[in-house]
Structure 1
Amino acid sequence: MSITVNAQRGVALLTILLLVVSITVVAGAMLASQKVAIRRSGLLFDQNQLLQDIDAGQQLAVTMIRADSQLNDTDSERDIWAQPIPPYTLANHSISIELRDEAGRFNINNLYQGGAVNTAALAVFQRLLTQLNLETDIAVAVLDWQDADSDVYQDGGDESTVYAKQLNGTANGALPNQPFVSIDQLQEVRGVSAEALATMRPYLTAVPYYVPININAASPVLLAALIDDATSQQMQGLVDARARQALTSTDEIWQLANLSDVDDAQRQAIVPLLAVDSQAFMALITANDNAVTDNGRGRQRFATVLISKTAVNDSQQSNNNQTPNGSNTDSDTPKEIKVVGQRLWAFRPSF
């Protein structure tokens, strides 16, 4: 009888121990799951906070460009948007903004506008390639990439045959026949190597609408590409002049001693490509979560934002202050500043 009672007590004790172990395991699993859920919620909150920071930086960039456009009709390194912008800090988060004038670069989408080739823009691009010691055939290849036909420009021939070896994985070798959305796409264009792309990158942009070259922001190399046989050294005088005071008219480029003898035909071809202000800006926004993570660093999120500045009465974005055919809109016309594109990055992009 005593043995039976002891056995029953042992079984009861074992049962209790098993229950305790089971409860402990279940509680541990619930606690671990709860920690994961809390961690996931924290990460989502941090990511949402970073995205909100990027939106705030985007609005600040737009506000700065809008404020500057009300102060003057030019865009140069002297303007408020071009000055270093201190990081904006709120609690453990900070926002950094860098602004760049895209009209200080050559817009490769200028080559084909309104269903027609812009021959003057093509000539400038070819001269720019010459300035950079690159093959001028690249300009035609870039044009073929975006124009609407299936023939190689001027030389004829089927684009799908010419480009078949360049288009990796494309079944019929057909070109997109649409504007570029990024300079990085140039690496798919015939004749553009990684080295050539690296050389061209500082001088090019890919804005989806027509953007005249801002002579207040363009580099001496790009300015030299405007005129036959010009050099970047010759254009340094223009760069020095605008550093003292922003140029208020494109006519001032012809006042340089070494450009005063440019014939009227070449001037008329070049003038529609020029401006003294910008119709496109690129903002690089960096959102920082300064709280230290497990790897000892704060989280970061990056965004590049394309901001347009166009006359409010323009019916087409491709015809801003100066159109490809040379007609000018009133410089006093109010400008509309808005975001036309945003791209998020997990790492800092080249800028």
Structure 2
Amino acid sequence: MSLPSRQRGIAIITAVAVAALVAALAGAMAFRHSLWLHQVENQNDMMQARGVARAAVDFCRLELRDDARRNTYDAATDNWATPIPNLPVEQGKAGGLITDASGRFNINNLLRDGQPSESDVLAFKKLLEGQGYSPDLANAVLDWIDADSETRYPGGAEDREYLAETPPRRAANRLLFDLDELRQVRGFTSEMVEKLRPLMIALPRNTKINVNFAPAEVLVAVLPGLNMGTARKVVQQRATTPFQKIEEFKNELPENARSNQIDKADVRSEFFISDVDARFGRVNIAYRALLDRSSDQVPTVVWLRRR
């Protein structure tokens, strides 16, 4: 092969290689650009989905405000207790559910004015025993939420005990923010917390039990003298005929169950849980909020988190 022919061959090969390289670079740039566009779209969809979900929470708050202005009691027959179906919104949908949070035993009731509440501690112990757990766990919870560093026996734990564990930690010395925090309390496990969840909750202040929602186990624990048979009868009755006044509930109780603890019961709820789901574009998002309705105004959001 002559020199000019060889040079032309090398030039052709070089040109082909350069063209292939340019094509590869162009393809890579196009891919990265497409990926970047998808990321931007996803971020936009995420922001829009968050906005839709928060709007759904606000819708729940308004519904609870209107209910407080219409009714003097809260029950499962109320409009707010009806699940909201997935309603269409621009490029997506949203739906949710409001559930009562005042029918469960408020574990923060164990302290009243900074001091242990004997009646609430007894109720808590009864709930624990009813689920097959040691009543001594009540001391562990009291040590976790009280302000002092004195360990209660049996079953309690303060900084000294927690710092000796792996990993080391300290007692919170404040009210529980959420029931999930019980996992940090000595003696409790995740499995135990899930089993107790239908019966207990952590609310930011002392509350009364709404007898239109309280499980039979909670009613028996909170109201001394009330037996399980009567409690289950009450639960069955309220499903169709909720109590509109606390006196109506009291009249259904046996004489020995009409104790002074009835003042810890009510037919109104102050706290609710709002679960909302939203979809926008390719993004699905779900929020859970604890709502505080202490008046007939729009409830405040105690906490809001992804679930």
Are 1:338 and 2:306 counterparts? no
Aligned to 2:107: 108
Residues 221 and 231 in structure 1, CA contact (< 8 A), matched pair in contact too:
no
CA separation of 1:175 and 1:100: change in aligned 2, threshold 3 A: same
- Between the aligned partners of 2:162 and 2:72, the Cα distance in structure 1 is 43
CA separation of 1:142 and 1:19: change in aligned 2, threshold 3 A: same
- SS of 2:300's equivalent in the other structure is strand
Residues 102 and 205 in structure 1, CA contact (< 8 A), matched pair in contact too:
yes
- Between the aligned partners of 1:213 and 1:53, the Cα distance in structure 2 is 33
Residues 139 and 154 in structure 2, CA contact (< 8 A), matched pair in contact too:
no
Deviation of 1:90 (Å): 2.4
Aligned to 2:35: 36
Range moving further from structure 2, 66-75 or 237-246: 237-246
- Between the aligned partners of 2:253 and 2:113, the Cα distance in structure 1 is 36
- Between the aligned partners of 1:227 and 1:111, the Cα distance in structure 2 is 15
- Between the aligned partners of 2:33 and 2:2, the Cα distance in structure 1 is 46
Range moving further from structure 2, 39-48 or 99-108: 39-48
Residues 97 and 276 in structure 2, CA contact (< 8 A), matched pair in contact too:
yes
Residues 136 and 154 in structure 2, CA contact (< 8 A), matched pair in contact too:
no
Give the helix-richer structure, 1 or 2.
2
2:209 to 210, 213, 231: 213
Aligned to 1:317: none
Residues 144 and 157 in structure 2, CA contact (< 8 A), matched pair in contact too:
no
Deviation of 1:104 (Å): 0.9
Q: How does 1:1-351 map to 2 (within 5 A)?
A: 3=2, 5-153=4-152, 159-163=158-162, 167-170=165-168, 174-258=170-254, 260-262=255-257, 266-267=259-260, 270-288=261-279, 299-311=283-295, 334-345=296-307
- SS of 2:222's equivalent in the other structure is coil
Amino acid across the alignment from 1:187: R
Amino acid across the alignment from 1:282: I
TM-score with structure 1 length normalisation?
0.78
- SS of 1:221's equivalent in the other structure is helix
Amino acid across the alignment from 1:144: D
- Between the aligned partners of 1:13 and 1:154, the Cα distance in structure 2 is 90
- SS of 1:134's equivalent in the other structure is coil
- Between the aligned partners of 2:10 and 2:115, the Cα distance in structure 1 is 92
Q: Give the count of matched residue pairs.
A: 307
CA-to-partner distance for each residue in 1:32-72, whole Å, 9 max, x for gaps?
A: 11121122122222322321221122112112211211111
Deviation of 1:199 (Å): 2.5
CA separation of 1:185 and 1:156: change in aligned 2, threshold 3 A: closer
Aligned to 1:294: none
CA separation of 1:13 and 1:193: change in aligned 2, threshold 3 A: closer
Amino acid across the alignment from 1:281: F
Range moving further from structure 2, 121-130 or 235-244: 235-244
Residues 127 and 228 in structure 1, CA contact (< 8 A), matched pair in contact too:
no
Amino acid across the alignment from 1:168: T
Residues 143 and 157 in structure 2, CA contact (< 8 A), matched pair in contact too:
no
Residues 57 and 276 in structure 2, CA contact (< 8 A), matched pair in contact too:
yes
- SS of 1:81's equivalent in the other structure is helix
CA separation of 1:102 and 1:157: change in aligned 2, threshold 3 A: closer
Residues 124 and 225 in structure 1, CA contact (< 8 A), matched pair in contact too:
yes
CA separation of 1:24 and 1:138: change in aligned 2, threshold 3 A: same
- Between the aligned partners of 2:55 and 2:81, the Cα distance in structure 1 is 19
- SS of 2:139's equivalent in the other structure is helix
CA-to-partner distance for each residue in 1:197-239, whole Å, 9 max, x for gaps?
A: 3331111111222222111111111111122343222113332
Unaligned runs of 5+ in 1: 292-298, 312-333, 346-351
